[in-house]
């Protein structure tokens, strides 16, 4: 079979199941594509091809025996090099050079459930240190480039996974999302980044199992099709004994891609009230919104009800992450490595160090509760909108892909339309739904005049994941994006 790299994850699994191609042939094609494309993109920080080929051989034997096969049987995938683990594989927490020899001895929930579904892991993908920004770059491995323009960044913090999927190295890969880290790189790479409702998929954070609510942290996938995101949700959802916040609600979303959105009420916010948006992004998204009306939905321009300056909201997000990062550094220090010391601090970005050292020591319980009150304001605003509308749509991010830096410190823009913003996360209003826990997805809205991708963000009521996926699928039918991958030449 030719063009294996153009198949979606579900198409790949079906071809293996029907013996049109073997899992070994699929894996060999993926490895060849990685060896060709990754030197130009820097999506991977670790690969384990021999292990993956052994697993593919085992997958072929399962097909030959007539075993019951999982929905992703034989499909190559990858995990993000941040807080997730696989025994024997290194974990650098986002390219921290002092952790290059840090070998995991346990398996995270994402790996466990995806392997149970038949997927085969080929390696780990690049991310920024501690995932603390909307781009992918770090001291140890450098930036991950955008497949549509290798001088520009793939977005973050799951940028390695997004670049691998967009470029055809893999049909799907892991993303984690504490402020938009699945959806931001999806917007910049013409891929689908779905993030489920709070509590639907487990996140096994340690040593503090409750840190995944401050703000909400999620595990999910980056794919090229909405259907792959639907199938992945079916694999990942459901309670896990290691996550005290994950509920046992399991729904069948298999029809979400077909049921349509006729009669749905959709609120369109061009700028989430307070976030400046680059003209190229605005133009693409405002045109793309028309597809929902063609699909039979009722679309109205709305206000969300956010009344603070956008910088206040992004500062709250950064402050909420500071205790998580400090706690992680303290845990590493207990093992004998002080990453904040003069000897080792060069492995962390200046911005991360600034937040951890400037804010961290004095961040009190009173400060935390004040920030959680702002977070509650955002939650109440969204809930008020959902009293009238089924979905909220907006730009995923407010800026086009930025140029890669050369010092390991690529950031987003510091100003849009003359307005100062936080270059770490201020151009990524995706973090608002990490405050609230509503399900959301970024789908490709189209290409700007620069030829670079723009993302459209769809948010639904809490636990209404099916509505979000149905809208994404309806949009995909009316404004397909698969043809844009042909523009990638690597």
pLDDT digits (tens, 9 = 90+) for 373-424: 999 999 999 999 999 999 999 999 999 999 999 999 999 999 999 999 999 9
Q: What is the pLDDT of residue 349?
A: 95
Q: What is the pLDDT of residue 249?
A: 84
157 flagged as catalytic: yes
Q: What is the pLDDT of residue 109?
A: 86
- Residue 452 sits at φ, ψ, to 5 deg, of -100, 150
The closest alpha carbon to 438, from 388, 380, 368, belongs to 380
Q: What is the pLDDT of residue 208?
A: 83
Sign of CA dihedral 107, 112, 115, 120: negative
The closest alpha carbon to 278, from 455, 482, 459, 479, belongs to 455
282 flagged as catalytic: no
With a cut of 90, say whether residue 107 has pLDDT above it: no
> Can you tell me the mean pLDDT for 122-143?
98
- Architecture in CATH for domain 4-487: Alpha-Beta Complex (3.90)
With a cut of 80, say whether residue 206 has pLDDT above it: no
Tokens of 400: 């086009």
With a cut of 80, say whether residue 85 has pLDDT above it: yes
Q: What is the pLDDT of residue 205?
A: 80
Domain ranges, ordered by start, for the chain? 4-487
Catalytic, out of 22, 55, 91, 157: 157
Q: What is the pLDDT of residue 303?
A: 98
With a cut of 90, say whether residue 278 has pLDDT above it: yes
> Can you tell me the mean pLDDT for 478-486?
98
Considering only residues 347 and 83, tell me which one the structure prediction assigns the higher pLDDT: 347
Catalytic, out of 181, 269, 314, 442: 181
The closest alpha carbon to 130, from 177, 97, 83, belongs to 83
pLDDT band at 90; cut points 50, 70, 90: very high
Tokens of 178: 């504490």
Q: What is the pLDDT of residue 372?
A: 98
pLDDT band at 330; cut points 50, 70, 90: very high
With a cut of 80, say whether residue 147 has pLDDT above it: yes
Give me the percent of the chain exceeding a pLDDT of 70.
100
Give the Cα separation of 221 and 236 in Å (integer): 9
- Residue 367 sits at φ, ψ, to 5 deg, of -60, -45
Q: What is the pLDDT of residue 214?
A: 85
Question: In terms of C-beta density within 10 A (0-12 exposed, 13-18 middle, 19 or more buried), how is residue 360 classed?
Answer: middle
Mean pLDDT, rounded, of the chain: 97
Q: What is the pLDDT of residue 385?
A: 99
User: Could you give the 3-state DSSP secondary structure of residue 79?
Assistant: strand
Q: What is the pLDDT of residue 114?
A: 98
Catalytic, out of 8, 22, 55, 80: 80
pLDDT band at 50; cut points 50, 70, 90: very high
How far, rounded to the nearest angstrom, does the alpha carbon of residue 305 sit from its chain's CA centroid?
A: 26
Q: How far is CA 460 from CA 110, 223, 387, 437, 468, in A?
A: 24, 20, 11, 10, 6
Q: What is the pLDDT of residue 25?
A: 98
pTM for the full model? Answer: 0.97
pLDDT band at 235; cut points 50, 70, 90: very high
Q: What is the pLDDT of residue 94?
A: 97
80 flagged as catalytic: yes
Give me the percent of the chain exceeding a pLDDT of 90.
92
* Residue 114 and residue 70 in contact, taking contact as beta carbons nearer than 8 Å: no
Q: What is the pLDDT of residue 210?
A: 86
Cβ neighbors of 113 (< 8 A, separation 6 or more) are 235, 236
pLDDT band at 23; cut points 50, 70, 90: very high
Q: What is the pLDDT of residue 449?
A: 98
Q: What is the pLDDT of residue 438?
A: 98
């Amino acid at each position: 079979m030719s063009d294996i790299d153009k198949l979606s994850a579900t198409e790949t699994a079906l071809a293996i199941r029907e013996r049109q191609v073997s899992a070994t042939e699929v894996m060999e094609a993926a490895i060849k594509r990685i060896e060709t494309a990754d030197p130009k993109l820097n999506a991977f920080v670790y690969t384990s091809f021999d292990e993956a080929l052994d697993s593919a051989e085992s997958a072929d034997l399962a097909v030959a025996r007539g075993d019951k096969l999982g929905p992703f049987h034989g499909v190559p995938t990858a995990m993000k090099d941040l807080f997730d683990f696989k025994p024997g594989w290194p974990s650098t927490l986002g390219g921290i050079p002092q952790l290059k020899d840090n070998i995991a001895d346990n398996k995270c929930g994402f790996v466990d459930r995806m392997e149970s579904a038949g997927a085969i892991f080929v390696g780990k993908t690049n991310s920024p240190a501690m995932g603390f920004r909307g781009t992918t770059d770090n001291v140890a491995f450098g930036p991950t480039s955008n497949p549509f323009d290798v001088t520009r960044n793939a977005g973050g913090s799951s940028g390695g996974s997004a670049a691998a999927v967009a470029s055809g190295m893999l049909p799907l890969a892991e993303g984690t999302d504490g402020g938009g880290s699945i959806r931001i790189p999806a917007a910049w790479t013409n891929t689908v980044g779905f993030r489920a409702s709070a509590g639907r998929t487990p996140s096994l954070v340690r040593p503090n199992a409750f840190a995944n609510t401050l703000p909400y942290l999620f595990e999910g996938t980056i794919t090229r099709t909405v259907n792959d995101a639907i199938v992945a949700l079916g694999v990942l959802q459901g309670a896990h004994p290691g996550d005290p916040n994950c509920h046992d609600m399991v729904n069948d979303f298999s029809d979400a891609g077909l049921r349509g959105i006729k009669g749905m009420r959709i609120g369109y916010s061009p700028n989430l009230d307070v976030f400046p948006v680059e003209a190229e992004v605005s133009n693409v998204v405002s045109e793309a919104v028309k597809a929902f009306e063609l699909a039979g939905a009722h679309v109205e321009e709305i206000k969300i009800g956010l009344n603070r300056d956008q910088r206040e909201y992004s500062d709250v997000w950064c402050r909420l992450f500071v205790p998580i990062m400090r706690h992680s550094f303290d845990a590493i220090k207990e093992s004998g490595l002080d990453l904040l010391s003069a000897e080792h601090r060069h492995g962390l970005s200046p911005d991360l160090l600034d937040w951890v050292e400037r804010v961290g020591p004095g961040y009190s319980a009173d400060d935390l509760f004040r920030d959680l009150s702002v977070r509650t304001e955002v939650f109440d605003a969204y809930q008020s909108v959902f009293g009238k509308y089924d979905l909220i749509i907006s730009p995923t991010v407010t800026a086009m892909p930025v140029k890669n830096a050369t010092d390991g410190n690529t950031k987003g823009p510091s100003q849009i339309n003359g307005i100062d913003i936080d270059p770490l996360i201020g151009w990524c209003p995706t973090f608002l739904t990490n405050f609230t826990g509503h399900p959301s997805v970024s789908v490709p809205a189209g290409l700007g005049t620069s030829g670079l991708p723009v993302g459209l963000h769809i948010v639904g009521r809490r636990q209404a994941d099916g509505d979000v996926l149905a809208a994404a699928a309806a949009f995909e039918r009316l404004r397909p994006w698969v043809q844009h991958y042909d523009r990638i030449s690597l």
